[in-house]
Amino acid sequence: MLLVEDLHKSFEDFTAVDGANLQVRQGELVAVIGPNGAGKTTLFNLITGHLKADRGRIRFLDREINRMAAHEICRQGIARSFQIANIFHRLSVFRNVQVSVLSQKKLSRSLFRPAQTLVVEETRRILESVGLLGKQLDIAGSLSHGDKRILEIAIALGNEPQLLILDEPTAGMSPEETASTMELVKRLARDQGLTILFCEHDMDVVFDVATHIMVMQHGRTLIQGTPEEVRRNATVQDAYLGGA
Ligand code: ADP
Ligand code: MG
């Protein structure tokens, strides 16, 4: 589904991504791990078109997406959440998701059915799938930190993505929120056939959820493999898992 080859990105004289390689197949839950500053967020920004790569290739569903603008890449079927939640704080939970569904639907289907009805149904379905339907009338800014991050996932789902990219979905969450968020991520993959690429600091979460793991260090891909392969790799153990 997604193929990243030898990707590079520098900021002035600092190279943040310096030979990243990544493969994501349909239905996989792929975790990118690596210390702070390894280049994970930059890699995600390159994939989603929020940054342009200096060189390397990014293919999504057999299309080169390197040169596409962020909104074009989104239309190809990639949606993402940010490390810091990106929501409309003064709008209701419902309206936050509705805006996203509207912008996706408006293009193609509004001629065929009353757009408003369609969008309301779709918005409610998404809110239900993430467990926020009961809070649909709440003002987004009043939600708990955990619910704000879940709302951001709901907004991303409004784009009907095939690939969902989550940048530290559990950052700042309590252990309970972390557990329920990762249950949600697994459920979305299972029930909605979503493919998910995420980065995450908590190794227990990573090894519990990921079907595949890519390890980044100094902007480079150290290894990509199954959790077992990554756990067994001596370089990864020394560099990152603390020899554990
Ligand atoms: P991670 O998400 O793995 O913690 P990042 O991709 O955020 O890492 O950052 C990788 C490196 O690139 C860091 O050293 C960071 O300071 C640097 N960096 C990221 N974005 C920029 C930018 N816009 N300008 C300059 N340096 C940046
Ligand atoms: Mg980051």
SS3 218: coil
- AA identity, residue 133: L
Specify the number of domains making up the chain.
2
Ligand nearest to the CA of 37: 1
Phi, psi of 66 (to 5 degrees): -50, -45
Domain shared by 191 and 233, yes or no? yes
CA distance 131 to 151: 10
Domain shared by 218 and 153, yes or no? no
Tell me the pLDDT band of 139, cut-offs 50, 70 and 90. very high
With a 6 Å cutoff on the Cβ, whether 36 touches ligand 1 is yes
Domain shared by 71 and 168, yes or no? yes
Instruction: Give the count of beta carbons closer than 10 Å to the beta carbon of residue 164.
Output: 25
pLDDT given at position 244:
46
Residue partners of 58: CB distance under 8 A and separation at least 6 = 2, 3, 4, 5, 7, 46, 47, 64, 65, 66
Ligand nearest to the CA of 219: 1
In a domain, 82, yes or no: no
- Residue 63, judged by CB atoms within 10 A of its CB (0-12, 13-18, 19+), counts as exposed
Helices marked H in the chain: 40-47, 70-76, 93-105, 115-130, 145-157, 175-192, 203-209, 227-232, 234-239
Nearest to 194 by CA among 162, 221, 216: 162
pTM value is 0.93
Domain shared by 39 and 61, yes or no? yes
Domain of 50, CATH number, reads 3.40.50.300
Domain shared by 232 and 171, yes or no? yes
With a 6 Å cutoff on the Cβ, whether 39 touches ligand 1 is yes
pLDDT given at position 56:
97
Phi, psi of 207 (to 5 degrees): -75, -20
Domain shared by 172 and 66, yes or no? yes
pLDDT tens sequence across 163-217: 999 999 999 999 999 999 999 999 999 999 999 999 998 898 999 999 999 999 9
Which residue has better confidence, 168 or 107?
168
Domain coverage including residue 222: 1-77+161-244
Of 75-84, 138-147, 158-167, the least confident: 75-84
CA distance 48 to 26: 17
Residue to probe by mutation, ligand 1, list 10, 11, 52, most atoms within 8 Å of CB: 11
Is pLDDT of 108 > 60? no
pLDDT tens sequence across 19-72: 999 999 999 999 999 999 999 999 999 999 999 999 999 999 999 999 999 999
Tokens coding 108: 């193609």
pLDDT given at position 236:
83
CA distance 175 to 193: 26
Instruction: Give the count of beta carbons closer than 10 Å to the beta carbon of residue 49.
Output: 21
Domain shared by 37 and 144, yes or no? no
Q: What length does the chain have?
A: 244
Average pLDDT, the chain: 91
Distance 37 CA to ligand 1 centre (A): 6
Domain shared by 205 and 219, yes or no? yes
